[in-house]
Amino acid sequence: MLEVLHSLANLSTPLHHGIVFLFNGAEENVLQASHGFITQHPWAKQVRAFINLEAAGVGGKEVVFQTGPENPWLVQAYVHAAKHPFASVVGQEVFQSGIIPSDTDFRIYRDFGNIPGIDLAFIENGFIYHTKYDTANRILTDSIQRAGDNILAVLKYLVMSERLADSSEYRHGNMVFFDLLGVVVVAYPARVGTILNYMVAMATFLYLAKKASLPGNGGESLFSLWFVTLLSVLIVALLVTLLGRSMFWYNHFYSSICLYGAAATGKMILVHTLAKNLYYGGVRLVELGELYFDVSLLLWCCSLVWLTQQGLCSAYVPMLMVAFPLATKLLLAKEFKHRGTHSIYMYINCKCIALLKKKKKGIF
């Protein structure tokens, strides 16, 4: 905040709007400082928007995990200005659901000041946050640099924006937003997302219904595979909990993907192979690839419909997991027909893209 303040103070271009830098204390004691400012300070009534800096870890990329409420222009400001974007509406909906036992000044400004804003937080190495190992030497300079680049760029954009003069005029609806590989942020209105989700779900169900009507497709084993796969993942989770490693997924995220993903994939292949060998006289890679693809597609499509009906913007996640593999399958239908194992490879590749992240460095 001090470095951003220094940079803004030395700009040659005059700012269209003022900026208040608020260094809060008493945060861990029911957010008293932010509440005192927004309810008692004479400057509070002049504030039109805010950027709240938080931490649930000691470094990494600072993620945009709350915006608004219902001020899509703030999301658009971040989309246009942030140099190293990292944002997801999933974080917003998970946090606001109350599942995570935490709170931020965002709630104070929103509820007591009726002010829209953006909530940013470091989340990496959260298992040492607020412990005796949470020391200054563990804070990565790259993380501070990245946050400074983003916050300075977004602030410059906002203080020059005409929308900041009366932000209430632009308060309408929620936004679906997420970054792609930390390079660009995709953002669109929630109502557009609802239409898109139902279109993808309808196309998927039509595809599966048409395929299930074909003779000898093995579709009767879809639900059994679904059940056994879910059961295997729950068993792994139970074992991890009994071993006293229930937070294993938090400090070893990619290892947990391998652990649960390998269990699910292995169980699906095993059950399908046994079923085909026992009841259908042998299994072919073409059939195995097709069935794996269909089961995965059905799982994600059911999640897509349910989340959309709940009015959650997070439905974009299963939408992507359905739309890209299905589009790939339909575009390369002839190739899949002759070389069915590509169904597995292409589907896995489409999902793995979302897991790729890049680390960037810079200087003020």
Collapse the DSSP code of 64 into the 3-class scheme (helix H, G, I; strand E, B; otherwise coil) and give the result. strand
Q: Which element (helix H / strand E) includes 68?
A: strand 62-68
Provide the token pair at 23.
Answer: 């260094």
H or E element, residue 156: helix 141-159
Other C-beta atoms lying within 10 Å of the C-beta of residue 251: 14
Nearest residue to 37 (alpha-carbon basis) of 27, 164, 28, 165: 27
First vs last C-alpha separation in the chain:
13
Q: What does the block give as tokens for 122? A: 């470091």
| Residue 274 to residue 84: CA distance in whole angstroms | 48
Q: At 226, list the tokens.
A: 């679904």
Task: Name the active-site residue from 3, 27, 70, 287.
Answer: 27
Would you say 189 and 175 are in contact if contact means Cβ atoms under 8 Å apart? yes
How many helices, marked H, and strands, marked E, lie in the chain? Answer: 14, 5
Catalytic residue at 169?
Answer: no
Residue pair 67/117 in contact by the 8 Å Cβ criterion? yes
Burial of 280-289, coded b for 16+ CB within 10 Å and e otherwise, reads: eeebeebbbb
Q: Which amino acid is at 268?
A: M
Q: Which two tokens mark 30?
A: 């029911």
Q: How many residues does the chain have?
A: 364
Q: Distance between CA atoms of 253 and 247, rounded to whole angstroms?
A: 10
Chain-centroid distance of CA 360 in Å reads 19
- Would you name the residues annotated as active-site residues? 27
